[in-house]
Amino acid sequence: MLSGLPPTSVKSGLSCTEVRIKTMKILRKIAGVIVCGLVAINAVRAALLLEEHFSYPDGNLGAAGIGDTVWTAGDSPSAALRVSSTAALSYPGLMGATGSGIIYSGTTFKKRSAPFPAQSNGTVYVSFLLNVQTPPSSTKLFAWLHNAGGGTSSPGLGLFLNGYELGIAKYGSSPTATTNIGPGTHLVVARYTFQTGNDRVDLWVDPPSMGDNNNVPPPTLTTGTANQNDISALSYLVLNHGISQALWLDEVRVGTTWADVTPVEAPLPAPRPPRLTRAWLGPHGLAIEGTNSIPNTPYVVLVSTNPALPLVQWQPVSTNIAGPTGEFAWTNRVDPAMPLQFFSVFVGTELPMAPQILAQPVDLAGPVGGAVTFSVSASGTPPLWYQWFFGAAAIPGRTNATLVLSNLQSSDTGAYW
């Protein structure tokens, strides 16, 4: 029996600055007032050549209504390349993971191709998330960039897999450099560089930094410059299935810069520093006044008896709108019978909501060689992040709301949470 225990490792991102104002001398039951500012921003990125989240119904890639307007070339749709919500992948910090993913399965040689505007100079990047469920037993191309959407044994930039060995080549039928990626979900980035003399290809696996063109980390693998063959242009991304294996692939991006294909969740800028100008205990209760809030935007007053709790766990007691110059004021009755209270003024565009499990995973049983899928549902201010555990150990790369265990063995029996 595989036990699905309640997951406790769902987190929500929140960043803000707190300013503590001590009022113990003047407020008998009030321990402090915290003023917190938060400003939301939207990320701005260059247009991608191709972006694919596989937000389609489950079914064969390229079939009617299942990516047929994007994946327009290659073989006819086949279950060898199948859109499935089971294969939806995410990666810590990577922006915009949504939709479903692609499952490579079976033994049929099939491919689907997506065109993008032809590039013949500069750099072309491709990125995707990859999870090897059942590794192939020999080396095969599983994805490539080329100038045509049909079959080829030597694409301009080829990505190969043999077991857990991920390889890359320029205009080659076998990898010229490889690295072991292991189980779990990985962010894979490859780059083709058009240059005087021999062109170059590079590969990154789980890069230490993302989203910054001025901070591109050294590649995991570099190859291609010794090969005299160069391609004239790149205009297709091809997904190719050609051997018995089970791969999950998701979140595909093709662009001309590092930041295009490794977008990160937009960080919060330095918060506005709202200032508390007065806090006093008057005839009507606690009163506060302040300035430098965000003009004409909401602020929320929160209360808690435990100042150590995260702000998302405080209780809102009042919502109001700051004035045209950012001023704010609030009065609230203080009940002498209440325990020691702490008040907070949250200034910003959205009050964060604490993560909360809505549906717990349930116990499952599966036959040897079979598969089971645990799932959990949670709410809260996004982005939400999950971590699945087997016993006391975190399962690397399993950070989605679902946990799929395939090819079950007796050693897989235990508690999952």
Look up residue 214 and give its DSSP letter: T
What's the pLDDT score for residue 122? 95
What would the mean pLDDT of 388-397 be, rounded to a whole number?
84
Alpha carbon distance 89, 92 (integer Å): 10
Q: Is the pLDDT of residue 378 over 60?
A: yes
Res. 409: pLDDT tops 70: yes
Quote the percentage of the chain above a pLDDT of 70.
80
- What residue has token string 């004239």? 232
Local structure of 180: helix, strand or coil:
strand
pLDDT at 55 exceeding the cut of 80 = yes
d(CA 377, CA 357): 6
276: tokens are 């508390």
85-94, 156-165, 340-349: which has the minimum mean pLDDT? 340-349
pLDDT at 32 > cutoff 60? no
Q: Predicted confidence band at 336 (pLDDT cuts at 50, 70, 90)?
A: low
Confidence of residue 40 (pLDDT cuts 50, 70, 90): very low
Summarize the confidence of residues 377-389 as an average pLDDT. 77
Q: What is the pLDDT of residues 237-269, one digit of tens each?
A: 999 998 899 999 999 999 999 999 999 876 544
| Residues 6 or more apart whose Cβ sits within 8 Å of residue 121 | 194
pLDDT at 353: 64
* DSSP conformational letter for 113: E
Residue length of the chain: 417
Q: At residue 86, does pLDDT exceed 80?
A: yes
Closest Cα partner for 168 from 220, 108, 117, 206?
A: 220
**pLDDT tens digits, 192-216:** 999 988 999 999 999 999 988 888 9
Give the per-residue pLDDT at 334.
65
More confident residue, 72 or 8: 72
More confident residue, 161 or 307: 161
> Going by C-beta distance under 8 Å and a sequence separation of 6 or more, which residues neighbour residue 380?
10, 12, 312, 352, 353, 354, 355, 356
Region 109-124 average pLDDT: 95
Lowest-confidence segment of 182-196, 306-320, 361-375 by average pLDDT = 306-320
How far, CA to CA in Å, does 379 sit from each of 353, 357, 376, 403?
A: 8, 7, 10, 18
pLDDT band at 281 (very low <50, low <70, confident <90, very high): confident
Considering only 8-17, 28-37, 231-240, 323-332, which range has the smallest mean pLDDT?
8-17
Distances (CA, A) of 328 to 146, 235, 275: 59, 56, 10
179 strand-pairing partners: 166
Judged against a pLDDT cut of 60, whether residue 350 lies above it is answered with no
Average pLDDT over residues 378-397: 80
Could you tell me the pLDDT band of residue 410, with boundaries at 50, 70 and 90? confident
Helices (H), 115-220: none
